[in-house]
Structure 1
Amino acid sequence: MIYHYTTIDTLALILNSRRIRFTRLDKVDDVLECSLLKEARYIFVSCWTQAKTENIALWHMYAKNMKGVRIGFPSNPFKKHFIKTGRYGNITVNQDILDAPFSIEELFNEKYFIFPIIEKTDFFNSVTYLDENELESTYEQIVARNEKGITLYTEKFGFLKPDSWKFQDECRFILKITPPYSDARNLIKTINSGILPPFEYFDLEIDENEFLKMEIKLGPHCSDSDKIIVNSLLKSHGFENSCEESNLKGKIRI
C-alpha cells in the first residue's frame, strides 16, 4: 500500500472525480529541489509514502493540523491503457506500452505531450535524499550542458530531494509533460525558451477496481462530526467499509 496525507475537502474531490492530481514540480513545497532543475516546470508529481506507521509531521503539514485524512491505495491505482508501437503524428513509440497510466489521446495531442513511460521506475519510485552539495553535483550530471548542447537523463527527474526532507519517507509518481515538439532538438529549444505546458496540474484517472480498494484513516484530531462527514462521503461513492480511527487519536495534545 501507499499513503497520501490530505484534507477532507481533497478526499471529496478525489471521490467525485475518481482522479488523482499531479502538481508541477516548481509548485511543490521544497524550493531547493526545483531551483536546481530548470526543467522542473515540465515535471508533474503525485507524492506518497510507503510507510504504514502514521507520520506525525505529515499529519501536521498536509492534513489541516491533523484534522484531515490519510488515503491508502494499492501501489499503482491508475487506470491502465495499452499503447501500441507506432508513429503518432511527429512522435514514434518504439515499443508497446502494456500498462500506460494514460491514453494515446493524453499522451500526444495538439496542446501537450507526455513522455512515453517505458520503464515502470520512470513513473513510480522512492525519493533519494542527498545533502545539498551532493544534490547539486548530481543535477549537474543528469542535466549535462556543454558546447555541443544539452543531454538530459530524465529518469531521475523528480526523484531527488535534500536530506532535510528525509522524514517524509516519500515515494512519487512522475509525469514529464511538455508543449508539443517535432523532434528532440525542437524539445530542447522549447525548454530553453521557457515555453511551458498549458497547465500547472494534471489529473490521472483511477482504475475502478483499485478505487474501491481505497482505505481512509482519520487524522488524530478529527472530531465525531468529521467522522460522520467522511463516512457519508464514502458511502455515497459505493464504499462498504467506513473510515478508520487514527492510532494516534488521544495521544497528541491539541
Structure 2
Amino acid sequence: MTYYYNGKEFMSSLDKNIQSYKHKANSKESLNHYTDIESFFRIIKNKNLKLNAIDNLNDKMESEYLEEEELNRLVFISSFCHGLENIPLWHMYTSKNYGLNIEFEYKSCKKGFIDVIYDNSRPIEAIQRSPKNEIDKYFINGDVEDQKFKWLIDLRITDVCYDSEIRENNPVYYVGDFKYDLNAMGLFKNEFWKYEEETRLIGKFRTTETKTTLPTYDYILIPVTFENVLMTVKFSPWMSEEIKECVKVYAKQYLGDNKAKFIDSRFTDQLIRKY
C-alpha cells in the first residue's frame, strides 16, 4: 500500500516550465468548455464544476507518467480550451444534437479564472462510488472532516504543454521512499493532442496528516459562482431550433437574463455529421 507523506514533495527542474504555463493560463480573459446539455444544466443549477481523476482522461500516457500509479489518485482535472471553435472538439466531447460550447468570459474582472469562478464559501465535494454503484460524498476545504483523515485541495489553472516524449524530456525524480514530484501531473499531453489548445483547472490533494493512505475518489466537484462571469452558450451545429429554445428557457431560470447569451455555431448548416 502506498502512503502519502505531507510536505514531502519537492520542486524539480520543471519549476520554471510550470510557472510559464500557469502564467499563460492566468493571463487569459475567457475559456471555453465543450459539453452536453445535461452537464450544462447541472453546472448552472448546482453551481459546481466536475474534475475527473487523471486516470479517466483521454491520453493514457498522462496516467502512466508516474511509475507509482496510485499517486494518480491525488490529481483531478477539468478541461477547457482557449482557441477558436473547433470541429474535432464538437465531435469528441459533445453528442450530435445536444452539444454546447460554453464560453466563460471574465475580462472585466482583471483576475485569473480561479479567482473569478471559485466559490470558497462552500466546501469542495469529493465523490466515491461503492462496488454497488452507491455514492459516498465527502467534504474538502470545508468544515466537515472525513472520519479517517483530512484532505485539502490546491487549485491551479494551467495551459497544457504538448510533448511526445514526456518521460525522456521531463523525468520524475524520486528521493528515498516517499518524495515525489507531482508538479508535472496534468501539465503534459502527447503532441498529437495539440489541436485541442487546452487549458486545465487542476485540483491536487494534500493531507494535513503526517502520514495517511491515499484517497480513492472518482471525481470532485468544485463550487463556483457566476457573479462576475458572462456566459456565451454556443449551440451544436446540428441542434434543432426546438431544443435551442428549451436550453434558453432552462438556463434563464438559474442565470437570469443578463448572465448568458446564446448563439449558433459558425458551422451551423455547413457540416454533415454521420454519427
Please, what TM-score do these two structures have when normalized by structure 2? 0.69
| Conserved 8 A contact 2:31-2:103 | yes
| Conserved 8 A contact 1:230-1:243 | no
2:78 alignment partner, SS class: strand
Query: What is the Cα deviation at residue 107 of structure 1?
Result: 9.8
Which residue does the alignment assign to 1:31?
Answer: 60
Distance in 2 between the 1:63 and 1:21 partners? 16
Letter in 2 for 1:56: I
Distance in 1 between the 2:120 and 2:251 partners? 27
Pairing of 1:159-178 with structure 2 (within 5 A): 159-177=187-205
Pairing of 1:121-136 with structure 2 (within 5 A): 123-131=156-164, 134-136=165-167
More contact order relative to length (CA 8 Å, sep ≥ 6)? 2
Distance in 2 between the 1:153 and 1:107 partners? 29
Residue 107 to residue 164, structure 1, CA distance change in 2 (3 Å): farther
Please give the per-residue CA displacement for 1:138-180, whole angstroms capped at 9, x wherever unaligned: 4533xx125x2343233322111111211111010111125x5
Does 2:267 correspond to 1:248? yes
Letter in 2 for 1:216: V
Distance in 1 between the 2:201 and 2:73 partners? 16
| Conserved 8 A contact 1:25-1:43 | yes
Which residue does the alignment assign to 2:103?
Answer: 72
Letter in 2 for 1:15: I
Structure 2 residue runs without a partner (length 5+) = 1-29, 107-112, 122-138
1:3 alignment partner, SS class: strand
Which residue does the alignment assign to 2:133?
Answer: none
Query: What is the Cα deviation at residue 106 of structure 1?
Result: 6.7
Bigger share in helix: 1
Pairing of 1:147-162 with structure 2 (within 5 A): 148-162=176-190
Which residue does the alignment assign to 1:182?
Answer: 209
Query: What is the Cα deviation at residue 137 of structure 1?
Result: 2.4
| Conserved 8 A contact 2:117-2:224 | yes
Which residue does the alignment assign to 1:105?
Answer: 142
1:114 pairs with 136, 152, 163, which one? 152
Distance in 2 between the 1:72 and 1:79 partners? 16
Letter in 2 for 1:225: E
Please give the per-residue CA displacement for 1:183-223, whole angstroms capped at 9, x wherever unaligned: 2xx25xx3xxxx433x2111111124135x22211011111
Which residue does the alignment assign to 1:207?
Answer: 225
Distance in 2 between the 1:46 and 1:23 partners? 6
Write out the 4+ residue segments of structure 1 that deviate beyond 4 Å after TM superposition. 106-112
Please give the per-residue CA displacement for 1:47-80, whole angstroms capped at 9, x wherever unaligned: 00111x1011111011113641011113334235
Letter in 1 for 2:75: I
Please give the per-residue CA displacement for 1:24-52, whole angstroms capped at 9, x wherever unaligned: 1111122121122222221000100111x
Letter in 2 for 1:218: F
Please, what TM-score do these two structures have when normalized by structure 1? 0.75
Which residue does the alignment assign to 2:81?
Answer: 49
Does 2:236 correspond to 1:219? yes
Structure 1 residue runs without a partner (length 5+) = 83-101, 118-122
| Conserved 8 A contact 1:24-1:44 | yes
| Conserved 8 A contact 1:107-1:116 | no
Query: What is the Cα deviation at residue 253 of structure 1?
Result: 1.7
Does 2:87 correspond to 1:61? no
| Conserved 8 A contact 2:80-2:198 | yes
Residue 107 to residue 116, structure 1, CA distance change in 2 (3 Å): farther
| Conserved 8 A contact 1:107-1:113 | no
Letter in 1 for 2:270: K
Count of paired positions: 213
Distance in 1 between the 2:167 and 2:222 partners? 31
1:21 alignment partner, SS class: strand
Query: What is the Cα deviation at residue 242 of structure 1?
Result: 4.0
2:39 pairs with 4, 7, 10, which one? 10
Residue 103 to residue 44, structure 1, CA distance change in 2 (3 Å): closer
2:262 alignment partner, SS class: coil
| Conserved 8 A contact 2:51-2:77 | yes
